[in-house]
Structure 1
Amino acid sequence: MSLSWKDPAHARRTAGLAALTLLTATFVATAAPASADVVEVGSGSYTTDTVGPTPDACPAVEADPRAYVTDDAPATPLPTNDWWTSLAYKKLDCAFSEPLHAHPASYRPSAGGLGISYTTTAAVTGDGTGVAEYHYPYAEDLRAGVVGLDAPHVAVGGWTDWTVDPVWDDGEQTLRATIGHGLPISWFEADGGDALLTLNGAADLWLDEPGRVGLSVGGADYLAVAPEGVSWSRDGDALRAPAARFAVALLPDVDADARDELVDAYTGAARSPVTGTRADYTYDSDDAVVRTTYAIETTPWPGADDGGTVAALYPHQSAYLAGTEPAGPTYTSPRGDMAVLTGTTEFTTATPYTGVLPEIPAVATSSGADRERLETLLDEIDDPLDQREADTYWTGKALGRATRVVEIADQLGRDQQRDAALADVRAVLTDWFTASAGKTEQVFAYDADWGTLVGHPGSYGSDTELNDHHFHYGYFVAAAATLARFDPQWAADYGGMVDLLIRDANGYDRGEERFPYLRDFDVYAGHDWASGHGAFAAGNNQESSSEGMNFAGALIQWGEATGDTAVRDAGVYLYATQAAAIERYWFDVDGEVYPDEFGHPVVGMVWGDGGSYATWFSAEAEMIQGINTLPVTGSHLYLGSDPATVRAAYDHLEEVNGGPPTVWQDILWQHLALGDADRALGLLDGASYTPEEGETRAHTFHWVANLGALGTLATDVGADHPLAAAFDGEDGRTYVAANVTATDLTVEFSDGRTVEVPPGRTVATGAHEWSGGSGDGGPTASPSPSPEPSEPTPDPTPTPEPTPEPTDPPTCPTPSPDPTVPPDFAAEVFLGPDGTLVPEPGDDGRIELASADGVNRDGTPHLPAVLTATGLTASYTGADTAFTLAVDAGDAVGQAVQARVSYDLTGDGTVDRVETYAYFATDPVPGDETYRSQGRLATADGELGDLDGGTVRVELWSVLGDGTPTVATGSASSVTLPFE
């Protein structure tokens, strides 16, 4: 068999990848049940039996997801995918949690209480020429606790929209805290001992008055507050007070005089703890804005006045703040400066909504040479689904590809092609939405313990870690929205299943008892989080913000097509809010978020404590930037809200890449078209490229050519209808509106222009006049009967194995060509210089490992070098893995290198065996040292067996220090596999 390396196609980004690399990960396959407990939902159904893997976690959490939730906490399903999730969904630290980046402060619980950190200087690695990241890492300034507290773990005592209550109990002392997004004050209730603040390092007390002490520690200013009449006393590096209630306030970045002026306001807020938070939204279609009111409930201590609290606002909030002016001070955060409101219990934002469309209208491709070119490209599409894998993500990608074909064919009147693609979409959705006894694939299963609906087979941790549900399910909902326009009876029959997917990923109904409210969406941060558990030192993360927006746009279109205004309005809320956040945190449109040293104008991933120009799966610039622009649909017009940013991003891509893109060209050209369509069309014309997995050449040309006529998104005008947008081009402004209902529609734009839209049509008027689409107010084709559910189909192509996180943590690369190697299996393989494990040593070279950035990375791969061999078939010998690696850290001191070897025995994307070896500390003398596996196996998870088309992966990373150790390629470094 051949040994080869591939870019893992869409190696999915979030914590699911960590499951493949972290030694606590386990993969439990569940046998098919003898009979399924099927729950009918209209004509659809799901099962409540376990038909596939369930969430991996610490043992107590696997047995009971609420093991670390107190009895007095809300009885609603446990939230996941949040900034604080690792408190309850314990996966790595089975007693406490990873750092909780609430902003402006960060927190970390330990046996003695809650650590508090405020980092104002970014740690930047890399530069503007390749993979880079910036973080404001947790660095404890002080710890709040109770004298004598030594708790075995921390639990969750409650939560509201953006707060959480950690709880400690060691049998004698207890502590309960309240912390939250945008709350620079943390509140504590203590029992069994005095309140205790342990200071981490030298502290300067600049205020010492009854009931409050001001101190500077770790470069930050804090105010420790107790009830009036209760004083703090200092004993070395500790402050204590005989108080059952106390608070710690972090003060903003001001000089001493301004700080002193804030003390009274912060003291009052400290004595009025926040006991509830709630964000409520309304879609104001007349003004084309989403109004969100952030309400904060405070309950003052006995005898204290209630003067409200202090709230720090993210830039996406302060930019659209309505009727209130922030105070002058600000806080530093990974999202830029946070403005301050004092004495507040409520604030409202009015965020613009710029509209979505089912598809860009064919104003240029409806006639002439462009029409002929597009028709030719459509003729080339044999299988619009082109489904490569059968899991929820890849099924979704296939559905997305097919629905783009539906939309374009409908605009051009190619009814036969449209109807054939619709039939494929209908068949796939119906199959997935139908459960039956013994069916374990292409089926959704509800897990009441976790409060989630999981599609099987899942992928990239959607089942084992509850990752990415909004990514995966957004494709299903978007496809259902398109199908609903042409086959309303199908939507009536199966719409209940669509609604369940929506409610699981981002449920909009606070009365829902089966799923948490807005699982993936962080109402205060303004965007989704992808990791189910968020258990990383850098906090939670999200890579593909554009796939999150695919979900939001899908809700708008499904709600509009079915008349469900609650779903539609929820989609508009998610869409407008995230667009404002994405513009700032993924694209830094104002140039005020990223540290100057970072050097990149965009990030591939946003982390709780920063961002990175990286992905989970690739270091290629095309994928780092492209991952936040796919899929390209009419729900992604927001990406063109600032054309200059679009153009600068593409220029930067070519600069980093050393020339034009060589993969994902279609995705990148379509993004560029939102800022400069003429340039994009010039790049597309005559180009030879491989379409990205969710794309067709027809859609790419349709998108770019029609934007060439329309121009760029007009952000200064809105419409009173959610499916409408305006564009400014060389010929003037064009107004576009879509009607997916069976009644006539009049759309009014904010500049006074009105557009009449017949049922089922999209109309463009103004600089360009065009009308297209079905237009009869109902199905454009006789809907074929919904097929009977089919037997589960085998996965025709194994899902490539994901690559581990490229930072303390991304989706969809096109596989790179495999290097050809001799066909015979080789037990001894060598490190190639280009990410390969090869059967013969090649030229001598060096692999440079990324710096550990002064952080102990023991056991957690950090920007690892990854070498892979795939398609291996051989018999297991029963021996052990062995390796000999030549490593060198030059004259740098305090360096170390670590290795991990993973085996996917069948190449199905599931890792069967993970071996992590103790790290090798290097000396400060230039020259190679030998890192051997013998006696260094630290942890092993899973069992080895025969390889049948399997994959072997070797990861190497720097564990300690700030240097960049290297590993030799060629004959000096080899791995001996226990197979023959």
Structure 2
Amino acid sequence: MRTRIRRATVAAAIAAGLAVVLSGCLASSPGDAPDAAATRPAIAALPEREVAPPTPMRLADGLVPPTNRWFSGLVFGDAPQPVFPFPLGFALTDAGFAFGLARVDATATTIFGGMNAAVTVDAAAVDAIVSGYDAVSVTITLFDGAGAEVGTVSIAEGRPDVTFTATATVALRSAEVFTESGGGADAAWHAEVAGTEYGLIAPAGAIGGDGRTVHLAVGETAQWFATPEGTEVTTFADAVGVPGERVDVVHAADGDSVTTRLDYGGTAVVAPAGVTMSTSCELGSFDTVYGPAAVCAGGVLEWEVPRVEASAALDLDGIDDTTRQRIAAAAAADLAATPPPPADTYFGGKWMYRLANLALVARAVGSHDVAAGAGRRLVDELRLWTDPKGCEERDHRCFVYDPVLRGVVGLTTSFGSEEFNDHHFHYGYLIHAAAVAAMLDPSLADEIAPVVDAVVADIASPLADDLFPERRLFDPYTGHSWASGFAPFADGNNQESSSEAAMAWNAVAIWSAVRGSDELAAEAAWMLSAESHAARARWLEPDLSGFDGFAHEITSINWGGKRDYATWFSAEPNAMLGIQLIPMGPVSLTMGGDADRIRSAVGEATPNGFDVQFGDYLLMYRALAGRADASAAAEVAATLPDSTIDDANSRAYLLAWFAAVTKE
């Protein structure tokens, strides 16, 4: 994969001889990325352990298991699941494959798409494996009853076609009858299924008289495709083109924007939802669960999103003395009330993240004793987590390397982390805490770096190797991550906490500054900006105008094949919005957008007030609607009981947030 790297500019401030960031930005010095060569010693030092229960994998030898991909459901589990190479749905069948466009509908809480097997193709296959993949495309090899290859199937996000290439002489049979609609060297055929036109391109003479059978010799290709609204099937057949073997991803951060460019190799492509293309998209559109999707000629998708600068701390310069004293008193009380550290990576990570922010806030308001106390507790805990041999002595607060699934797993596991669920949600907290601790005490960096580098590589390796996949979770096409490791769902993969995902890439960015890694910094800047944009466009401020039945301001779980107003853990409205806000770190100051949408969403989430789960974050989000909103939210926040403040937050940080938002 070609990746053009341009170094991100991140500003730093040095205070009291420490690389403590009071402005919220960091400086990066030239250096090498924590790449495979740098990470191998740390991985070699970690105990190897297969943490997840054994699971079937339909995967070719030599490929790193593709957890957390849009197509992971094809690979893992007893039977393959449908996947959603937008705008299509695709599924393996007992004898071949099926695909189709979604039939989109909406209820009050769900925008439905789901798998629609509009076209089914029988290849006389009895088995299938994923034989190649990148972040956007996947190749599946089909086998007959004797174990011989029949052919390969190629699909990709953003491609409206399914391409089959024969590796043996084969007759493919569809349940649907196609009729000829154009001539030329390659005949174009079509079939109308439930009001949608589907096309078929095959070598001249390959399609039998029944309109259902395609005869292919070795190396020959057939393509089935969906025809977009506003385009004739014959016109679109000329534009479909032959896809490349992979999708090249290029990203760059320049000035105030970040660019993503995907090169498919000459086929018609479909723009992702929520972004404006830099390329021409005039071949019609498809109706999808994410709204109308424009179709573009030329095989290249390119778009920009606003650049989000990494941020490690709130800017408290210039706050008044009364506010400074209130924050200082709260910081002392918060440190005294800090509970024992939890054992797992999620809640343990949140514990360390809270202390890191507490230390920076205390230092910013001049409470150096509190800052030092918080720093000591943080460093003591980090030393446990970053001891490579820790899991040889205990079964918690330590890491192992799983040699089967190829990644770093923290013990004790939670929320399916052993199956690689939510690693970015978990590890973002720890990485942020490690970066802050290393800024407070630069001599600590070399000590904790080996294990922290390994954790960073698990979720954000810029390069693929035999230890880790490239960018395990981040999807360059959708611009956001996928949270489920195995994706054992009929609606594809999903992500709930868009804010924790953005927090993870912010954490990687500030860690890259500690490590002096230009390559990792550029990767993190891209993922942070894209994920932040997607969080607003798909979760917090989505365009829901085309879904009349949907009755809410936001969506709280986005899937490949549907969108939900729901969470995995609560049916309460405060949870629906709150899980999109946690943990309201310094970079979350960029979440402010449409003030009316913010007020409306917070109003929907808090019909009975703010003494609810995530009430602190809901008030912090309300503050982004404007100065008057921030002042009003701060007054309510002052009355919140301690039990309402999340375990990644503290009263001192809550007060500091409002001070940073409302200061002149």
Report SS of the residue matched to 1:534.
coil
**Offset from partner CA, 1:180-236 (integer Å, 9 cap, x none):** 10000110023343122223xxx685836572211111332111110134334326x
CA contact (8 A) 2:208 2:215 kept: yes
Q: Which has the larger radius of gyration?
A: 1
Q: Distance in 1 between matches of 2:78 and 2:655?
A: 47
* Aligned sequence identity (%): 23
What's the counterpart of residue 250 of structure 2?
A: 280
For the pair 1:667 / 2:617, whether they are aligned, the reply is yes
Which residue, 117, 135, 140 being the options, matches 2:117? 140
| Corresponding residue for residue 557 of structure 2 | 605
1:678: how far off? 2.4
1:289 aligned residue (257, 274, 279)? 257
Instruction: Note the C-alpha offset of 1:348.
Output: 2.7
* Structure 2 match to 1:339: 294
Partners in 2 of 1:683 and 1:381 — Cα distance? 19
Superposition pairs for residues 527-566 of structure 1, below 5 Å?
527-566=480-519
Match of 2:595 among 643, 661, 668: 643
1:115 to 98, 111, 115: 98
State the partner residue of 1:167: 141
State the Cα distance separating 1:50 from its structure 2 match: 4.7
**Aligned residue in 2 for 1:316:** 274
Separation in structure 2 between the aligned mates of residue 559 and residue 651 of structure 1, nearest angstrom: 38
Which structure is higher in helix share?
2
Name the counterpart of 1:91. 77
Partner SS state of residue 373, structure 1: helix
**Does the Cα contact within 8 Å between 1:44 and 1:434 map onto a contact in 2?**
no
Aligned pair partner of 1:585 in 531, 534, 538 = 538
CA distance in 1, matches of 2:340, 2:548: 43
Partner of 1:370: 323
1:513 counterpart = 2:477: no
1:430 to 383, 390, 394: 383
Shift in Å, 1:393: 0.8
Cα-to-partner distance string for 1:140-167 (whole Å, 9 max, x where unaligned): 1011232xx040x321111123111122
Q: What residue in structure 2 maps to residue 77 of structure 1?
A: 64
Note the alpha carbon deviations across 1:114-145, whole angstroms, 9 max, x for none. Answer: 11021142242xx2xxxx22220112101123
Residue identity opposite 2:140 in structure 1: P
Over the residues paired in the alignment, what is the CA RMSD in angstroms?
2.5
The structural deviation recorded for 1:596 is 2.2
Q: Aligned to 1:692, which of 646, 649, 661?
A: 646
Residues in 2 aligned to 1:107 and 1:625: alpha-carbon distance in whole angstroms: 31
CA distance in structure 1 between the partners assigned to 2:406 and 2:587 by the alignment: 29
Q: Secondary structure at the match of 1:116?
A: strand
1:415-454 matched pairs, under 5 angstroms: 415-436=368-389, 437-454=392-409
* Cα distance in structure 2, aligned partners of 1:531 and 1:117: 24
Which 5+ residue runs of structure 1 have no aligned equivalent?
A: 1-38, 62-66, 298-307, 710-767, 769-980
Q: How does 1:448-487 map to 2 (within 5 A)?
A: 448-463=403-418, 465-487=419-441
- Distance verdict in 2 for CA 1:371–1:84, change over 3 Å: same
- Paired amino acid for 1:156: V
Contact kept, 8 Å, 1:87 with 1:154, in 2: the verdict is no
Q: TM-score, normalised by structure 1?
A: 0.60
How far did 1:486 drift?
1.5
Partner residue in 2 for 1:68:
58
- Name the counterpart of 2:450: 496
**Superposition deviation, residue 168 in structure 1:** 1.5
Question: Which secondary structure does the structure 1 equivalent of 2:374 belong to?
Answer: helix
Greater mean deviation of Cα atoms: 637-646 or 543-552: 637-646
* Paired amino acid for 2:631: D
- Tell me if structure 1 keeps the 8 A contact 2:342–2:348: yes
The 5 A counterparts of 1:10-49 are 47-49=45-47
Cα deviations by residue, 1:79-131 (Å, 9 ceiling, x for unpaired): 2111111222x2242xxx1111111101010121111021142242xx2xxxx
RCO comparison, higher one (Cα < 8 Å, 6+): 2
More divergent stretch after superposition (376-385 vs 177-186) = 376-385
Are the equivalent residues in 2 in contact too, given 1:677–1:705 (CA < 8 A)?
no
* Alpha carbons of structure 1 residues 387 and 475: separation in structure 2 relative to 1, 3 Å: farther
Identify the residue that residue 357 of structure 2 maps to in structure 1: 404
Aligned pairs, number: 615
Give 1 or 2: higher strand fraction.
1
Letter in 1 for 2:420: L
Relative to structure 1, the CA distance from residue 554 to residue 385 in structure 2 (aligned partners, 3 Å threshold; closer, same or farther) is farther
1:352-363 to 2 correspondences below 5 Å: 352-363=306-317
Matched, 1:156 2:156: no
Scaled by the length of structure 2, the TM-score of the pair is 0.87
- Aligned residue in 2 for 1:624: 576
Structure 2 residue aligned with 1:20: none
Q: Provide the rounded CA distance (Å) in 2 between the counterparts of 1:412 and 1:46.
A: 42
State the secondary structure of the residue aligned to 1:279.
strand
C-alpha change, 1:343 and 1:386, in structure 2 (3 Å) is same
Counterpart code for 2:263: A
CA distance in 2, matches of 1:362, 1:683: 21
Q: Which runs of 5+ in 2 are unaligned?
A: 1-36
CA distance in 2, matches of 1:478, 1:242: 54
Deviations, residues 599-646 of structure 1 (Å, cap 9, x unaligned): 111122111112111111111111111011001111222321333322
- Give the equivalent residue in structure 2 for 1:265: 238
> Is the Cα–Cα contact under 8 Å of residues 205 and 216 in structure 1 kept in the other structure?
no
